[in-house]
Amino acid sequence: MKTVKAYHPLIMTTHKFILIQTITLIITGLPFFSKTFSFLAYYVGYPASVVLKNNEPLITGLMIFRTLHWVSGFLLALTAFIFAVVMLRRLKELSIWPEKWGIEAIKDGIKQMKLHYVENKPAKFGKYNIGQKAAAWAMYFFVTALIVTGFILVYKNIYIDALSLRTAELITTLHSFSFLMLGFILMVHVLFALLPSNLPAFKAMFQTGEMSIEHIKKHHIYWYERLKKQNIIKEENKEEEK
């Protein structure tokens, strides 16, 4: 079965790293988002409090979670920045742009998703469908919002006099809202990624980096046409004939 490269190793590595850091941010941020999740910090802090002999498992756990949260946030920001700089020269080639623009294109994109996910029929997609592209843009936006508001909150003590109480509360609210939305989008993203119809793409992203031409032709017709125009599939077929 002939395949083509679906994902560059840099994209695969960055995707995995950002996923790990995002999950870490969500888990370590939950106790600060709501007291309902304080038990997470308690169970993590209990062994450390025993070693430190301070009898304060919750406070110790919160300190550990806060440190991990800050470190993960810094690593996420650094990774996102490096990735953005590297990919900037290939911005026009990225598959996150719509194949078509306008209201009718959005309606058709939703219709194609229904055919693919609900009716289990071949649909007209590019490399990514409209839902995946919307999720990608939403994640970019909320990750950026989290990083910016997060850094402000971390260093707020340095310039606390420059921020009014109302501004500080607004930044905290934006941070919490972005945190909540990112968690929701990530769960939906993972859920859809594990659907049988998306397994070839999942395998390509996390294992091989490649996808079969047959699958692309059946489920990603716009991408297939683009590969033909670039002579990528034609070259593969020539090699097969030899």
44 and 112 together in one domain: no
In a shared domain, residues 13 and 40: yes
| Residue 148 and residue 34 share a domain | no
Nearest to 15 by CA among 130, 110, 143: 143
Phi/psi region, residue 172 (left: phi>0; alpha: psi -120 to 50; beta: rest), is alpha
As for how many domains the chain has, the answer is 3
* Residue pLDDT, tens place only, 127-172: 777 777 888 888 888 888 888 888 887 776 555 555 666 777 788 8
Residue among 224, 219, 221 nearest 196 (CA): 219
Regarding whether 140 and 107 lie in a shared domain, the answer is no
- The pair phi, psi for residue 159, each rounded to 5°, is -130, 35
Q: pTM of the entire structure?
A: 0.70
Q: Are residues 32 and 81 in the same domain?
A: yes
Q: Are 172 and 73 found together in one domain?
A: no
DSSP 16-77: HHHHHHHHHHHHHHHHHH-GGGHHHHHHHHHHHHHHHT-S-HHHHHHHHHHHHHHHHHHHHH
User: Could you give the C-alpha distances from 109 to 101, 187, 196, 201, 220, in angstroms and in order?
Assistant: 10, 21, 20, 19, 13
For residues 216 and 110, state if they share a domain. yes
Question: How far apart, in whole angstroms, are the C-alpha atoms of residue 33 and residue 56?
Answer: 20
Name the stretches of the chain with pLDDT < 50: 235-242
83 and 118 together in one domain: no
Residue 121 shares a structural domain with residue 204: yes
Residue carrying structure tokens 């909540």: 180
Q: What pLDDT shows up at residue 119?
A: 67
- 51-60 per-position pLDDT tens digit: 887 888 888 8
The residue written with tokens 């194949």 in the block is 99
Residues 116, 207 within the same domain: yes
Nearest Cα to 109, choosing from 87, 91, 132, 76? Answer: 132
Q: Are residues 42 and 81 in the same domain?
A: yes
H-run or E-run covering 129: none
Q: How much helix, strand and coil, in percent to the nearest 5, is found in the chain?
A: 80, 0, 20
**Which range marks the domain in which residue 87 is found?**
1-94
Q: Give the model's pLDDT for residue 237.
A: 44
Sequence-distant (6+) residues with CB within 8 A of 86 are 10
Q: What is the pLDDT of residue 197?
A: 74
Question: Do 116 and 219 share a domain, yes or no?
Answer: yes
